[in-house]
Amino acid sequence: MDILYTVVITLATLALLIAIHEYGHFWVARRCGVKVLRFSIGFGTSLFSWRDRQGTEYSIGAIPLGGYVKMLDEREGEVPESELDMAFNRKSTLQRIAVVGAGPLANLLLAIVAYWCLYMAGETGYVPIVEKVEPASIAAVAGLERGQEIVSVDGVETPTWQALSFRLLDRIGDTGTIRFGVRYPDSDMVYESEAKIDHWMSDQEAPDLYGGLGITLYTPEVPPVVGEVVSGSPAERAGLIAGDTVVLADGQSMPLWQDLVAYIRPRPEQSITLEYERGGDLYQTGLVPDRVTDETGQDVGRIGVAVAMPEMPPELVRQYARGPLESLGAGIVRTWDLSIFTLKSIKKMIMGLISPKNLSGPITIAKVASASAKSGLESYISFLALLSVSLGVLNLLPIPVLDGGHLLFYFVELLAGRPVPEKIQVVGYQLGLFLVLSMMVLALYNDFTRL
């Protein structure tokens, strides 16, 4: 059932993003007087289709990994003389630029609208308070101390965990100085400090941002209360359900969730006896943790349960209420920041400052889409906006076969006053196709290795 849910959510997400992207092309093409022959979501055999009054065919393809808008074009077939003025290739260079650029811009517009809705609904975040500083770490060198709030990184405010994480993500692979602004509890005085970084976490596939700094942020103590049980897992077979509180493991006390995790991880495929509380009564059960490989390549034990997280103290929760215009401005800024971040990440990956293992494909997208949808509407919309930004920015890269490659040729044509020679375009498309396919293969390879 979980697999079916993941497939449905993934297909719905991709269909929406593709439809928005292609509708951008479609809408501007019609405004520019171009005749649209087909609007397709998906490739391959058409599962069903229909036509509108202007003769455009709308189609749903069998392979839901893309889409396209087919326009009347003399380069793709003979065009009746009466329709030559509606052919795409007969339009001015600026009109062709507008049609091609409208797809990625539609995705960026979707992200702005999504963030606008989220900000209108209100934003909540946790205050980043330092709980622990590792000796000789970057944070220790910078002089960070337990109890301080990290209010800025490199001069950019970090009022919440999310804001802090985003600033740190932006520094992965960098060499130079990282600057912190911190303040003590019940004080408005901000202290500035800094530390040196050298290719910071550039070789890590799943960077631990706070661990990379050498800090742990404050969270309430987490008791070993089961929040969710994975279907078919050892925990489910042992009879555990959400709400159970684990008290003992092989007779040893488990006061905190991390104690339970620390006990189970080094015991894959070893029998463990758990004592747990349910409804005021104590019960006992036995289970054998599955052997799985974690992100570091080590074999560890897992029983298939997720923790029920306790509530954060109210004084450590920040809530923001914005009006319509302020929310719109925040949505535009957020989309712009993510676009720049995506471009910088691509640059760092090309330069070898970020591991290519961070490149993800459809399997990872499916897993994240499913998880975000289960977490609630707000989480899913946030993921949808992030994915829409990525799709928009990637399509604007100046790689032939992508929208950005077409735009590159059209801008050259605009400046030179004549089209790019067809031979050069063909070679460019071949190189672009090779590059895109290579990236797709690498992304799929990374997906399968994570599995």
Is 334 inside any structural domain? no
Read off φ and ψ for residue 351, nearest 5 degrees.
-80, -5
d(C-alpha 428, C-alpha 443), whole Å: 22
Is 429 inside any structural domain? yes
Band the pLDDT of 437: cuts 50, 70, 90.
Answer: confident
| pLDDT per residue as tens digits for the range 13-70 | 888 999 999 999 999 999 999 999 999 998 888 888 999 998 899 999 888 778 899 9
Q: Does one domain contain both 6 and 115?
A: yes
| Boundary (domain end) residue, out of 251, 279, 309 | 309
Residue 351 has pLDDT above 90, yes or no: no
Q: Does one domain contain both 303 and 202?
A: no
Q: Does one domain contain both 198 and 175?
A: yes
Is 76 inside any structural domain? no
CATH number of the domain bearing residue 260:
2.30.42.10
Contact indicator for 138, 201 with CB cutoff of 8 Å: no
Residue 359 has pLDDT above 80, yes or no: no
Is 164 inside any structural domain? yes
Q: Does one domain contain both 24 and 96?
A: yes
User: Residue 21 has what pLDDT?
Assistant: 96
User: Residue 398 has what pLDDT?
Assistant: 93
Band the pLDDT of 180: cuts 50, 70, 90.
Answer: very high
| pLDDT per residue as tens digits for the range 292-338 | 876 556 788 999 998 888 888 888 889 888 999 999 999 999 999 99
Highest mean pLDDT among 75-79, 228-232, 243-247: 243-247
Region 163-178 average pLDDT: 92
Q: Does one domain contain both 199 and 268?
A: no
Region 152-163 average pLDDT: 93
Residue 149 known to be catalytic:
no
Residue 231 has pLDDT above 90, yes or no: no
Is 16 inside any structural domain? yes
| Boundary (domain end) residue, out of 217, 244, 266 | 217
Residue 138 has pLDDT above 60, yes or no: yes
Residue 451 has pLDDT above 70, yes or no: no
Region 3-16 average pLDDT: 84
Residue 202 has pLDDT above 90, yes or no: no
Q: Does one domain contain both 161 and 209?
A: yes
Q: Does one domain contain both 195 and 143?
A: yes
Is 364 inside any structural domain? no
- Computed over every residue of the chain, the mean pLDDT equals 89
User: Which of 301, 297, 298 minimizes the C-alpha distance to 267?
Assistant: 301
pLDDT above 70 coverage of the chain, percent = 96
Residue 144 has pLDDT above 60, yes or no: yes
| pLDDT per residue as tens digits for the range 101-124 | 999 999 999 999 999 999 999 888
Q: Does one domain contain both 174 and 143?
A: yes
Residue 1 has pLDDT above 70, yes or no: no
Is 66 inside any structural domain? no
Residue 2 has pLDDT above 70, yes or no: no
| pLDDT per residue as tens digits for the range 264-278 | 999 999 999 999 999
User: Residue 176 has what pLDDT?
Assistant: 94
Q: Does one domain contain both 137 and 213?
A: yes
Is 68 inside any structural domain? no
135: exposed, middle or buried (Cβ count in 10 Å: 0-12, 13-18, 19+): exposed
Lowest mean pLDDT among 74-78, 214-218, 413-417: 74-78
The reported pTM is: 0.81
| Boundary (domain end) residue, out of 309, 327, 353 | 309
User: Residue 296 has what pLDDT?
Assistant: 59
User: Residue 29 has what pLDDT?
Assistant: 96
Q: Does one domain contain both 198 and 238?
A: no
| pLDDT per residue as tens digits for the range 394-417 | 999 999 889 999 999 999 999 998
Residue 247 has pLDDT above 80, yes or no: yes
Q: Does one domain contain both 174 and 242?
A: no
Domain residues for 165?
Answer: 130-217
Q: Does one domain contain both 110 and 8?
A: yes
Counting the structural domains of the chain, the total is 3
